[in-house]
Structure 1
């Protein structure tokens, strides 16, 4: 054979080998993960979901290119227990103090992020991590974790008030420049290791700057007022201020996506976007209803997850840890037993609608939220959600769900603020009553007008004591207004949900069910500010 031909064939073979090796290396390269979580955003409030008063192009991109889940339930309607469920893969009631709001994080509850870090991932976060929790303050806290369970923080790059670079759109927005901190993390990553990054926005957590929406092109007429609120311009304006902060979260996510695209990392990055619980309004956040636990959820990874799909399987936050461990080839050894189920088969499927027929239910729960009752008692709830129905077990129906209606004046033993927190001039003071509801124009408007004939139903929906069980057909009744428990035509469904919920609580060792101390959650110390309330008995 001619030497030139032989040499040419040799070069061709070498070239093909190099291309093949590069291709194989690309295929076997472990994916990055960008996990983006907003703070207090209900499922309905993305433009992808059809909301007309909010614009979320980053979320829409992830949902359009990826997989959009219509039935994602947060681990809890409050941030700390919900985030605990995410990183441990366990229901918050399994995590002792480390599953409760503003208590201590025990080091034995190892988050999956630690295992990713040990498995060759570069990990970091910006903004809000896994909190609020009290982490170790000194060697005396020997059983407590020292650092945030969300990873090492990158939040030093801040907006400075009054400078030309301060582009914040509302007064309540955090000073942290989330995108700039993410970019710094990526630029200072050593080697070519894959990364896991937790983008934890502090928006749209209250307090909002009231009427910040007026500096935008938003219109009161565009607001779809949930059926558990009065349709009034104060409420509509409050919802638009909330929308302004959702868009801030989305803006920084959009910048992160664009940056990853520019540096050639986006297609090898799994992007997960969600929120920790529902909107911070009455009968939403800190409640087991749809607008308290149902959150947006979308995942993008086109090279492995067929995109353009809408999945209706009920999923919960305990499912995230096993999913991420499997996707990254990371063993769960070192973590306590995981209760969630990996969603990898659903993500890699080409099906829509119900993909995993065996995944019939998602679970959620709550104990304490803020300091809102006598002796810091909580309002224990457990929730089970199917594709069509939501069942809520209010385990202490004798307690006030939104917090006690009257508070002891700070610094006194028994002097009380006025009932419902309404002073002699008719003005409501949010910190005086019903303190499991964040202070808000909507809250004050409803309470100040509670005796008005048209307003009274909304007051009672948000604040009255509730029956032990509530069940809703969320397809027909997404606002959870019609309790179906006890209705003959729903008896079979009610029995099925109660049985499945009790089975899960028993299997997962919920102290409220299996003991030995069924009241242990009320005994955990709280490290955030405390309030005093009269004995309700």
Structure 2
């Protein structure tokens, strides 16, 4: 009888240790890089398989209307960790600029509240963090936490299971496992899993050996139906599945170790797909992202919620969940959604959440003097209004760069050389280089494809209004149409009021061109004066 008693004591001790470790919930925050809302199995996409995301959405709460802070990575990620619109975060909200110390991320507050924090892969980037003590105003480490990415795949080795060239060599799961077993100690953890997928570059035609078929593609209405575009979309799907595979392993590991039920799992993406008229655009496929959160012990699951969710709402929600004070952070613009998460309702849970807001400034170096394409957006349940503050500028970037090594010699118009080949770095550089981009530009004169070229790169009116419920691809601009005048006017007034309330420099000044003045720490292209 003594052995069973001893065994019972051991089990009791283990349970006691687990209980002390789990007095606060863990948080696993998983974020892909460039994935639009439509591209998960749970959302009904047939050409991508996402069992891990689907499980979180099925067992948790799926938000069908989540909007990123921006259609570009750095400003959007800035919004996540500060709970503030990117236009409130000075340099710390702008692509490839510097992260200033005063913009304290919620991750720091969690650490001060007893959490072990860390990350693997891409954090809050691209930003320039402090290099030496001379950078005294800059934050020293990534705003998502200390990186744990040492465990990597070795090319051509037996353990290299990567499904395509271009996929990062970081073994995300093994780094997460190392953090849990060797870094977090007896503390609850916040871990940021920042995949570098499905950000470009892709291995062209990797879909062919990954069991995909061109006919399975579901093309957005702003893409031409051609095998080059279809194949590009399937290569994108291969990389989404890689992100999901490592998330699946993390979930299985937490389940095996008995920690899954005490872990809040949040899965999303930073902005939309890296294709023309998506990423770096405020249309739905640029800012509408997947979002699901699972924590069955607190949040009734198997629910689809249609309430509008902004990335500004994530920081206050996480702080409230962990009973962490906001002291030390700059004023937060978002509002916690904990009441929605704890509700048992589906559909519209909180009718007062009528609008969300987002926008963009600079993305790539794509215009004269490194100027951006400022946009602000307001989204209701049914409508999306975009304010293009500089409609005289090219939305996808200038159509010509100055030839490298010269003072004023221009490359050919639209970046198309004498052989008819498009060079992606020569024109429209706010669109990531891709087979889809090159195909659309190379065929711009053809009657069949000119429509898609104009959708991607042509100059746009100051205001664009779309009924996204009926027009999810944002193709029919309703701005200026008498039958939508009331909707347009109400959304303009509401957007302007929010921009004033949040002290957007573009609106309240005194330096309305402030964003174009921030130093960019990524390569700069030279463009002719417009």
- TM-score, length of structure 1 as denominator length: 0.95
Residue 175 of structure 2 corresponds to 181
1:320 and 2:351 correspond: no
- Once residues 178 and 117 of structure 2 are traced to their aligned partners in structure 1, the CA distance between those partners, rounded to angstroms, is 13
- Return the offset for 1:189: 3.4
1:482 and 2:476 correspond: yes
- Once residues 190 and 26 of structure 1 are traced to their aligned partners in structure 2, the CA distance between those partners, rounded to angstroms, is 13
- Return the offset for 1:190: 4.6
Residue 439 of structure 1 corresponds to 433
The 4+ residue runs of structure 1 with deviation greater than 3 A are 21-28
Contact 2:65 2:306 in 1 (8 A): yes
- TM-score, length of structure 2 as denominator length: 0.96
1:311 to 305, 308, 313: 305
Query: Helix, strand or coil: the match of 1:365?
Result: strand
- Once residues 238 and 26 of structure 1 are traced to their aligned partners in structure 2, the CA distance between those partners, rounded to angstroms, is 49
2:189 to 195, 205, 209: 195
Residue 9 of structure 1 corresponds to none
Contact 2:219 2:225 in 1 (8 A): yes
- Once residues 425 and 28 of structure 1 are traced to their aligned partners in structure 2, the CA distance between those partners, rounded to angstroms, is 64
2:514 to 510, 515, 520: 520
1:455 to 444, 449, 456: 449
Task: Give deviations 1:397-418, integer Å, cap 9, x for gaps.
Answer: 0000000001101121100000
The number of aligned residues is: 519
Residue 92 of structure 1 corresponds to 86
- Once residues 492 and 273 of structure 1 are traced to their aligned partners in structure 2, the CA distance between those partners, rounded to angstroms, is 36
1:430 and 2:424 correspond: yes
Query: Helix, strand or coil: the match of 2:31?
Result: strand
Contact 2:340 2:350 in 1 (8 A): yes
- Return the offset for 1:28: 8.3
Query: Helix, strand or coil: the match of 2:411?
Result: coil
Residue 487 of structure 2 corresponds to 493
Query: Helix, strand or coil: the match of 1:64?
Result: helix
Query: Helix, strand or coil: the match of 1:208?
Result: coil
- Once residues 121 and 417 of structure 1 are traced to their aligned partners in structure 2, the CA distance between those partners, rounded to angstroms, is 53
1:359 and 2:353 correspond: yes
Alignment of 1:32-43 (within 5 A): 32-43=26-37
Task: Give deviations 1:367-395, integer Å, cap 9, x for gaps.
Answer: 00000000000000001111111110000
Contact 2:121 2:147 in 1 (8 A): yes
- Once residues 249 and 473 of structure 2 are traced to their aligned partners in structure 1, the CA distance between those partners, rounded to angstroms, is 34
- Once residues 356 and 370 of structure 1 are traced to their aligned partners in structure 2, the CA distance between those partners, rounded to angstroms, is 37
1:227 and 2:221 correspond: yes
- Once residues 46 and 177 of structure 2 are traced to their aligned partners in structure 1, the CA distance between those partners, rounded to angstroms, is 31
Alignment of 1:54-73 (within 5 A): 54-73=48-67
1:373 and 2:367 correspond: yes
1:473 and 2:459 correspond: no
1:290 and 2:293 correspond: no
Residue 329 of structure 2 corresponds to 335
Query: Helix, strand or coil: the match of 1:383?
Result: strand
- Return the offset for 1:191: 3.7
1:348 and 2:335 correspond: no
1:140 to 126, 134, 138: 134
Contact 2:30 2:267 in 1 (8 A): yes
Task: Give deviations 1:177-219, integer Å, cap 9, x for gaps.
Answer: 0000000000013542110000000000001000000002111
Residue 391 of structure 2 corresponds to 397
- Return the offset for 1:27: 12
Alignment of 1:78-117 (within 5 A): 78-117=72-111
Query: Helix, strand or coil: the match of 1:416?
Result: coil
- Once residues 257 and 90 of structure 1 are traced to their aligned partners in structure 2, the CA distance between those partners, rounded to angstroms, is 30
- Return the offset for 1:138: 1.5
Alignment of 1:209-288 (within 5 A): 209-288=203-282
Residue 5 of structure 1 corresponds to none
- Once residues 79 and 424 of structure 2 are traced to their aligned partners in structure 1, the CA distance between those partners, rounded to angstroms, is 29
Task: Give deviations 1:339-373, integer Å, cap 9, x for gaps.
Answer: 00001000000011111111111111100000000
Residue 4 of structure 1 corresponds to none
- Return the offset for 1:330: 0.3
Structural RMSD (CA): 1.6
- Once residues 21 and 345 of structure 2 are traced to their aligned partners in structure 1, the CA distance between those partners, rounded to angstroms, is 23
- Once residues 409 and 98 of structure 2 are traced to their aligned partners in structure 1, the CA distance between those partners, rounded to angstroms, is 31
2:413 to 402, 419, 424: 419
Greater shift, 492-501 or 48-57, is seen at 492-501
Query: Helix, strand or coil: the match of 1:77?
Result: coil
1:74 and 2:64 correspond: no
Residue 3 of structure 1 corresponds to none
1:125 and 2:119 correspond: yes
Task: Give deviations 1:256-309, integer Å, cap 9, x for gaps.
Answer: 000000000000000000000000000000000001000000000001000000
- Once residues 457 and 512 of structure 1 are traced to their aligned partners in structure 2, the CA distance between those partners, rounded to angstroms, is 32
Structure 2: unaligned runs, 5 residues or longer:
1-8
- Return the offset for 1:529: 0.6
Query: Helix, strand or coil: the match of 1:403?
Result: coil
- Once residues 124 and 139 of structure 1 are traced to their aligned partners in structure 2, the CA distance between those partners, rounded to angstroms, is 23
Contact 2:61 2:294 in 1 (8 A): yes
- Once residues 18 and 420 of structure 2 are traced to their aligned partners in structure 1, the CA distance between those partners, rounded to angstroms, is 71
- Once residues 210 and 123 of structure 1 are traced to their aligned partners in structure 2, the CA distance between those partners, rounded to angstroms, is 36
1:507 to 474, 496, 501: 501
Residue 408 of structure 1 corresponds to 402
